[in-house]
């Protein structure tokens, strides 16, 4: 599969490595341009290359976005049309500034992104786990019960199936938290499952108890 990664920070670089090691064609991009990614791409190996944000979106089947939330309006929306977009962003007011719609819980950060990326098939995932366990705790050969959970939420069932498959491939257990609105809210900073790694069955029980 062709996977784009927008953002080269901790989550972007970690997911790029996981997907490249799983055999996918990865294009990674950031706001500073491809030349700033030469060292990272060299470390990621032959399945990775650097590109512009536009390149990474247009050339890929699935695009993971891991950037500061405040930067989402700068994304070229037309480049993401028809793509499965994995939103790994989180809202941190101290970094992103106050956003009234989020503070009032009228909407979620992923719904803001989906509103901007008209035509994209948005799934919330890869946002609740710190990059260290994300990079080291995947167990592709282990049964589901022995894997840590990675959550996903969305309104497009087929898009969620594809993202769940990627989660499984890199050694974690996909756990569905629900719709983009309600499920996305369950994954936000401050929720019981945020930055709280759990085995699959425990994670499923935690999500079910919150519904």
The 8-class DSSP code of residue 80 comes to G
How far, CA to CA in Å, does 126 sit from each of 97, 129, 186?
Answer: 22, 7, 13
Residue 89 is given by DSSP the state -
**Coil vs helix vs strand at 86:** strand
Longest CA pairwise span in the chain (Å): 47
**Confidence at residue 92, expressed as pLDDT on a 0 to 100 scale:** 96
CATH of the domain at 108: 3.40.50.720
Question: Are 206 and 198 contacting, i.e. CB atoms less than 8 angstroms apart?
Answer: yes
Q: What whole-number distance in Å separates Cα of residue 162 and Cα of residue 79?
A: 20
Question: What's the confidence (pLDDT) of residue 210?
Answer: 65
pLDDT of 192 reads 92
End-to-end CA gap in the chain: 33
Beta partners for residue 50, in sequence order: 28
Q: What is the pTM of this model?
A: 0.96
Torsion angle, alpha carbons of 153, 8, 53, 88, to 10: 10
Instruction: Quote the number of domains for the chain.
Output: 1
Per-residue pLDDT of the chain (211 residues; tens, 9 = 90+): 999 999 999 999 999 999 999 999 999 999 999 999 999 999 999 999 999 999 999 999 999 999 999 999 999 999 999 999 999 999 999 999 999 999 999 999 999 999 999 999 999 999 999 999 999 999 999 999 999 999 999 999 999 999 999 999 999 999 999 999 999 999 999 999 999 999 999 999 999 876 6
pLDDT tens column, 10-63: 999 999 999 999 999 999 999 999 999 999 999 999 999 999 999 999 999 999
Q: Which domain holds residue 181?
A: 2-209
Of 85, 82, 84, 112, the residue nearest 97 (C-alpha): 112
- H-helix or E-strand spanning residue 209: helix 200-209
């Amino acid at each position: 599969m062709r996977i784009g990664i927008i953002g080269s920070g901790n989550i972007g670089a970690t997911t790029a490595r996981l997907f490249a090691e799983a055999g996918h064609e990865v294009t990674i991009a950031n706001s500073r341009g491809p030349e700033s990614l030469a060292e990272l791409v060299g470390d990621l190996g032959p399945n990775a290359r650097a590109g512009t944000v536009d390149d990474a979106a247009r050339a890929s089947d699935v695009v993971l976005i891991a950037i500061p939330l405040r930067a989402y309006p700068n994304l070229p929306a037309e480049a993401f049309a028809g793509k499965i977009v994995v939103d790994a962003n989180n809202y941190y007011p101290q970094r992103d500034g106050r956003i009234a719609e989020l503070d009032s819980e009228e909407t979620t950060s992923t719904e803001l992104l989906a509103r901007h990326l008209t035509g994209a098939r948005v799934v919330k995932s890869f946002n609740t786990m710190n990059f260290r366990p994300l990079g080291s705790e995947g167990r592709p050969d282990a049964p589901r019960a022995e894997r840590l959970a990675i959550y996903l939420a969305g309104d497009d069932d087929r898009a969620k199936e594809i993202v769940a498959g990627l989660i499984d491939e890199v050694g974690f257990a996909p756990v569905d938290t629900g719709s983009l609105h309600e499920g996305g809210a369950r994954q936000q900073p401050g929720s019981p499952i945020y930055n709280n790694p759990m085995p699959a069955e425990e994670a499923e029980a935690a999500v079910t108890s919150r519904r």
